[in-house]
Amino acid sequence: MFMVLFQTTISLLWRISGNRMAAQLKSRLRARSGSVPEIQIHEPRNHMEDVPHHPLDPLTMQEIYRVRTILSTHPPFSPSFPAIHSLSLDEPRKDLVLSWKEGDPLPPRKALVIALLNGQSHVLSVDLDLGLVTSNKINRGSGYPMLTMNDISVALEVALSYKELNRSAVKRGLSPSDVTCVTPSAGWFGPSEEGRRVIKVQCFSNQGTPNFYMRPLEGLTMTVDIDKKVVVKFTDTGGEIPVPKATGTDYRFKNQKEPLKIKAINPISIEQPLGPSFTVEDGHVVKWANWEFHLKADQRAGMVISRAMLSDSETGVPRSVMYKGFSSELFVPYMDPDENWYFKSYMDAGEFGMGATAMSLVPLNDCPRNSYYMDGIFASWDGTPFVQPNMICVFERYAGDISWRHSEIPVNGFDIREARPKVTLVARMAASVGNYDYIFDWEFQTDGLIHVTVALSGMLMVKGTPHQTVDQMPSQEAASGPLVSENAIGVLHDHFITFHLDMDIDDTNNTFVKVDLVKERTLPGQSPRKSYLKAKRNVAKTEDDARIQLKLYEPSEFQVINPSRRSRLGNPAGYKIVPGGNAASLLDHLDPPQLRSAFTNNQVFISRQFISPFSMVYALTIARVHLFQVFSL
């Protein structure tokens, strides 16, 4: 068993005109086509009749209602119902899931609940079959559970009713209705913050644009105690910094005034006359070509792939590849020590939830024709279920790429031109976490390769400045980022996207192997060559062996093998985990944001867990990861 964390560090800065360009391109494309493309309408489903069919199926609406009823009669909660911060399936033990076959009774259905009452975090296990709370542990350590929408609403309500905020808005020539506020993470900065739930609130001008992120009320920050519903600190040090103008910030294509001076793109569409080649059984089991896997939405992780199996090309027998894969955390530290910026060190999954922030996908734009759409069923802060519609889509992708090819020059009598098109299956979701949109793709290929890709879109979070041009800046080196628009600095920051992969190659008996590529020198007179490369295999025996920091001039390959499953040549079955370009966090290890995100100190980390030999954790500063087979013979 292996768990993998992938992290994406993207130092993002683009000009605001990019939003306008994308919008006008889309507008011109539609104008040139002479008609608006056909829009696929996906009618909402009635999930009240849903029942689980698989041990890993998420809780249904009826099950969530039942959990709420059970909690309401639990003695600690009978006088006052707690705030529900997380309510999801408490998954059965792995051995029970692996031994389960279609048609077997499901293992007992349980719920894992994180609830908050009177400042105490409760971690509960609820047995739905018994109708009882079987475990209730109070968290005595640091930290609090994921924020709820009610928490955010309370913080904004407290902030917007604060008189000092209105005075600051008026000083900037704004009315209260022109002000939009958001709740950036307060981070964690030592024991002085222990014992209370606080969140920061910062505000922007929405006057003349929906892209209020480009119009910050710089220097204005409120700290709100969510439980006491009071502002505990108010600062406004930016009264002399102008609010950036709204001109050119509206990204909606319908509001673009002038066309771009570029040639329009003709319409393009991929057709499937016979329909898609994949099926989704019982709402969660995806079958396509030689792949089968379980897919579900999760309020924290967003999208979870489980029980991924690949059919053997010779026998047709499904072979296990991965027990579970999902995005476990997104760490986003901004690089500005200013009083109004130092705390911006987001944990997007743990604080806000990737599933909770996943909006409905847009047919034909987010997902192509013939896509299958999956809803998320989650619990709100009061324990009642709600539907996150069209949160995940599944589709087949063909982009003109080549899956495999080979040609022979006919000098030897072979006139061969062999090429095969590349068609893949993609599971996609998009989370809109404040100003940024993360697009997650899990792409499956018929050759057994899995691509995990994260794309980033949305808006910049900018810092207001008195300067309108770079010539007005005393020192560009001293600024926290480049000037991206008049009176707006794009603050340098990173995005570390962490993935958890629990690899099961042919079963749970897996081993992690680090293959070092080392330079060997030839002996005098041995060869005209002076040097060559050798591959040296190192099997991880301890956790320390598998704490790896990637190095450009000390390259390595990372393999997950099953030593007990051999090919006809004697090679062990295995997969190779291939990171793309990488980077490491440069923050001091004792810096509070880095203390919270210590998992980024190593790009590969493996720990023993439960009955399986290893649990592998990757921390890769990239947006693309590849998993593909090794030793296929």
Distance CA 379, CA 13 (A): 36
State the amino acid at position 437 in one-letter form.
D
State the amino acid at position 177 in one-letter form.
S
3-state DSSP call for residue 275?
coil
Distance CA 382, CA 116 (A): 11
From 117, 121, 102, select the one nearest 57 (Cα to Cα): 102
- Phi–psi pair at 348, nearest 5 degrees: -60, -35
- How does DSSP assign 151-196, residue by residue? HHHHHHHHHHT-HHHHHHHHHTT--GGGEEEE-------SGGGTTS
What CA–CA distances, in Å, run from 38 to 30, 253, 373, 397? 11, 18, 17, 19
From 429, 576, 428, 431, select the one nearest 495 (Cα to Cα): 431
If 0-12 CB within 10 Å is exposed, 13-18 middle and 19+ buried, where does residue 174 land?
buried
Q: Clarify whether 348 is annotated catalytic.
A: yes
| The one catalytic residue among 178, 348, 494, 502 | 348
3-state DSSP call for residue 31?
helix
Distance CA 120, CA 132 (A): 21
From 273, 439, 302, 449, select the one nearest 374 (Cα to Cα): 302
Q: What angle (nearest 5°) sits at the alpha carbon of residue 83, between those of residues 80 and 84?
A: 130
User: Is the distance from CB of 287 to CB of 293 less than 8 angstroms?
Assistant: no
| The one catalytic residue among 213, 436, 438, 618 | 436
Quick one: which H or E segment has residue 69?
Answer: helix 61-72
The token pair that represents 14 in the structure block:
């683009």
- How does DSSP assign 108-139, residue by residue? PPEEEEEEEETTEEEEEEEETTTTEEEEEEE-
User: Is the distance from CB of 514 to CB of 538 less than 8 angstroms?
Assistant: yes
Distance CA 496, CA 547 (A): 18
Lookup result for tokens 């991965």: 322
Contacts (Cβ under 8 Å, ≥6 apart) of 3: 500, 501, 502, 609, 615, 616, 617
Distance CA 241, CA 219 (A): 8
Neighbours of 407 (CB within 10 A): 11
Q: Clarify whether 441 is annotated catalytic.
A: no
Neighbours of 154 (CB within 10 A): 18
- How does DSSP assign 334-355, residue by residue? B---STTTTT-EEEIIIII-TT
Lookup result for tokens 């026998």: 315
Distance CA 536, CA 533 (A): 10
The token pair that represents 501 in the structure block:
């992969």
| Length of the chain in terms of residues written | 633
Contacts (Cβ under 8 Å, ≥6 apart) of 156: 181, 183, 201
Quick one: which H or E segment has residue 159?
Answer: helix 149-160
What CA–CA distances, in Å, run from 120 to 131, 136, 218, 232, 589? 24, 12, 35, 21, 29
The token pair that represents 397 in the structure block:
């992708």
Q: List residues with catalytic annotation.
A: 348, 436
